[in-house]
Amino acid sequence: MDTTLQDPLVGQVLDGRYRVDARIAVGGMATVYRALDTRLDRVLALKVMHPTLAADGSFVERFIREAKSVARLAHPNVVQVFDQGTDGSYVYLAMEYVAGCTLRDVLRERGALQPRAALDILEPVLAALGAAHRAGFVHRDMKPENVLIGDDGRVKVADFGLVRSVDTVTSTTGAVLGTVSYLAPEQIEQGTADPRVDVYACGVVLYEMLTGGRPHSGDSPAQVLYKHIHEDVPPPSTLVPGLPYELDELVASATARTPDIRPQDAAALLGQVLRARAALSAEQLDALPPQALSAEHEHRDISADRTSVIPRSLTVPRLLPVNEDEDPTAAVQHTSRLDSPSVAPRRRSARPGRGLITLIAAILVVFGVGAGVWYINSGQFTKVPQLLSKTKAQAQAKLKAAGLDVKQVRFEYSDTVERGAVISTDPAAGARIRSNDSVTLVVSRGPEIVKVPDLNGVPLGRAQSKLKAAGLEPGMVNRAFSDSVPRGAVISTDPEAGIKRHAGSAIALLVSKGNPVDVPDITGDDLDDAKQELEDAGLKVIVSTEQVYSDYDKGQVAQQDPESGGKQVAEGDTVTLKLSKGPEMIEVPDVVGDSVNDATKALKDAGFQVDEDRGLLGIFGDTVRKQSVDGGEKAPKGSTITITIR
């Protein structure tokens, strides 16, 4: 049954722009739809948060913040985020639409992969994660469901930096087992997540690609979590005898239970993967895992079943089989390549060899290769080979062997691919291309390294411009006194001039405040005298329009900011002055005839100090007979009123 018909969003237009055409997948956090951007006329994936989560303000805020950050992460192996928005109760992400399947689909269909295929998938995944780690992102939920394999062969990582709800870990559904299977021990014990948790998850994914199963299993998530903490991931060769030692070492390094023993980030693990691949022979890379050999021997029994259930139009999408608690990552469309025009080679014919072609096509379908595509590519067309990490010479040789020419070689900087190795090709690896056509190679120059320029004595604004011109970013600005560097100019940088750093690194600047100046005390001075003294000290003066009551005469300086008392400021700094309005005059209460206690309280409440005059006759008295300022008259606030007691 087509559940799309019951979805209230299908057929609607979100934000006046995105027409929702079909539901693709449903997960615990969001639902993914295929949609059309009516402004740009392009198909994309629309990920809409479930209403229960959309009602959580803090969740939505973080969702939006991280989505905006990830949108700036431009990498060919990352599913791009185009837009984010809200429409009523709907909170959504507009993302790149990837037609193809997930790594989970491949593993369900084929089980264990050949080492070459596993590494061909792992390398672009690590390239994407490496770029993310260098940009300050941690994926936190790497698993086969988040690895998309396009129909053109490109590998992309989805769901960067998106928040996971608490019940993702505690739920007891099978989908959650698929999530907890990739959690690093420190995620479980401390809840911490740095790039090494992604490294751990990639090690588990590699194990699963090589063996067809996960390293830790159990009847509940708690059992799986316990094994992550207390048991090492076993060598893949224990399940697949004959796997090279280098692959066991890769898995062991990436899944070390102690984070410090793992590679520090995905770029470091990618380096290990490339070295391991270089150490393996073609026979080792292409060795079929046991279940693949088994399938090969039994292809006559299963080929008919495989082909009979696939006939669908290329334009009709099929909903992915996603467990209800799994989080869909991006739009993935499954289509039958056998219904394309290239299906003709599968039709019966009296021509010799046609039956053999049909048989081979069926086997290729079992292994995830479209028969029509294979048949066409066997003649006029071919595919661009995978050249990532190959040297320029190796790539040229591999292209030549495939009957392709090198059109051009471009060199670009890369933080994740070693100098001299291929970053990418145009057309991309796996792309369908005519035989004898040309391919452009993009080769790594290695990380872009620049020297920190000498900015000593350069004014701050010009120094920041020079850093940007050198490919660096102006960082934190601190200030300090200096008797040798003019005020506002750079004293030093951190790191210092001449040190090499990656392009884009932030450089801290220490800027001169000029010569230190002791602030003189000018309270009580006449304004003209105070201004002259401050200016003679190299300071500027501002007179506040606000005046205050004080013990000083009207017009004298009552307050200064900053105050004196040994405090130093920079030459040219400003001192703000407030002038006195003179003392505040307030009415004195009449306390004659009151008891001493009542009189004292009344005077203090009015703002006066109180002094008692008892003389010889008032030692034992308790009544006020006289006050120094008569009641009803005014006296300065805070002044002392003397009461005579008899």
Point out the residues that are catalytic: 141
Question: Is the backbone peptide bond immediately before 495 cis, with ω within 30 degrees of 0?
Answer: yes
Query: What region does 71 belong to: left with phi over 0, alpha with psi -120 to 50, or beta?
Result: alpha
Place of tokens 């930096």: 161
In three-state secondary structure terms, 215 is coil
Distance separating alpha carbons of residues 103 and 120, to the nearest angstrom = 12
User: How far is the C-alpha of 533 from the C-alpha of 577, rounded, in Å?
Assistant: 13
Q: Which residues contact 376 (CB under 8 A, 6 or more apart)?
A: 342, 432
The Cα–Cα gap between 607 and 609 comes to 7
DSSP 8-class letter at 335? -
Which residue, 30, 7, 1, is CA-closest to 20?
7
Hey, is 312 helix, strand or coil?
A: coil
Q: Which residue(s) pair with 542 in the sheet?
A: 576
One-letter-per-residue 3-state SS of 130-171: HHHHHCCCCCCCCCHHHEEEECCCCEEECCCCCCCCCHHHHC
Q: By the 8 A CB rule, do 82 and 44 touch?
A: yes
Question: Given the DSSP bridges, would you call strands 13-14 and 332-333 parallel, antiparallel or unpaired?
Answer: unpaired
Which residue, among 396, 393, 429, 423, has the nearest Cα to 410 in the 3D structure? Answer: 423
What number of H helices and E strands is found in the chain?
20, 30
Distance CA 227, CA 215 (A): 9
The residue written with tokens 């690896």 in the block is 429
Backbone angles phi, psi at 359, to 5 degrees: -65, -45
Cis omega (within 30 of 0) on the bond before 427? yes
Q: Cα(567)–Cα(581) distance, rounded to whole angstroms?
A: 27
| Residues sharing a CB contact under 8 Å with residue 615, sequence separation 6 or more, in sequence order | 644, 646
Helix 266-279 vs helix 245-254: angle between axes, to the nearest 10 degrees? 170
| Residues in contact with 432: Cβ distance below 8 Å, sequence separation at least 6, in sequence order | 152, 373, 376, 377, 381, 382, 383
DSSP string, 595-620: BHHHHHHHHHHTT-EEEEE-TTTTTT
Rounded Cα distance between 195 and 178, Å, is 20
Distances (CA, A) of 391 to 130, 215, 405, 430, 445: 20, 34, 16, 18, 12
